Amino acid sequence: MTGPFSLHNWQAWFSDWSYFAEGFLRTVYISLLGLFFTLIIGLIVGMLLCGRNRVVISICKGYMSFFQNTPLVIQIFIYYNVLPKLGIRLGIVVLGVMGLALYTGAYAADIVRSAIRAVPTGQMEAAGSQGFTYLQAMYHVVLPQAVKIGLPPMTNQAVNLIKNSSVLAVIAGGELMYCADSWSGSNLIYGPTFVMTGVLYLCICLPISLLARRLEKRSTRNV
């Protein structure tokens, strides 16, 4: 076979597979950290949106509006170029995790808010009548039920976060997409490079997508 998918090109890619393995592991590492902070942001902002303080609610809505309605790549460029001028110097991994968490956290907050509001308000009132504080009622009564409701869409957001980590290639993030872009540019081998890069992303995202579908079917069955 000749052309971009020639045997020579495939052999060249597989001879440097360890370089892509490093990018793969870095993608997994960044994604796991990003998901951890996404859940924290989503939980806090989602709960605040269900409160009664209008000022806090307005701030949370402003945060969500900005991050949901601007491209992630622009947000990453802002962090990368503006923060150093303000005297804030962050490593590429820290900057990437922060960017992914703030961006995906805006969507996660929407999921948390919807899940909490899906729980009947009478349960919160009943908990209050039993002497529970707002936080106690939220922790012991509302959140356990909200988790079951919000888990399927939150799993889908985890997949989106992993795919969005490829944006970090524009700032030399060292993740899988950056490895593919830099290696293919240096070796002028594009076909096998991006086919195998897609396969590696599929290895991460497909199991999570299947889990999301299973959870969605289970939650629908329990309704």
The two tokens of residue 170 are: 């524009």
Give dist(CA 166, CA 176) in Å, integer.
Answer: 7
Biggest CA-to-CA distance, the chain: 76
Of 29 and 214, which is predicted with more confidence? 29
Helices (H), 69-142: 72-82, 92-118, 121-129, 134-137
How confident is the model at residue 24, as a pLDDT? Answer: 94
The secondary structure of 134-183 as a DSSP string is HHHHIIIIIHHHHHHHHHHHHHHHHHHHHHHGGGGGGGT--SHHHHHHHH
- Hey, where are the domains in the chain? 7-222
Give dist(CA 200, CA 176) in Å, integer.
Answer: 8
Q: How far is CA 187 from CA 52, 117, 177, 184, 199, in A?
A: 58, 53, 15, 5, 20
- pLDDT band for position 138 (cuts 50, 70, 90): confident
Superfamily of domain 7-222: MetI-like (1.10.3720.10)
Name which of 37-46, 57-66, 102-111, 210-219 the model is least confident about: 210-219
pTM for this prediction: 0.87
Tell me the per-residue pLDDT of 76-115, one tens digit each, with 9 for 90 and over.
999 999 999 999 988 899 999 999 999 999 999 999 999 9
Give dist(CA 97, CA 79) in Å, integer.
Answer: 11
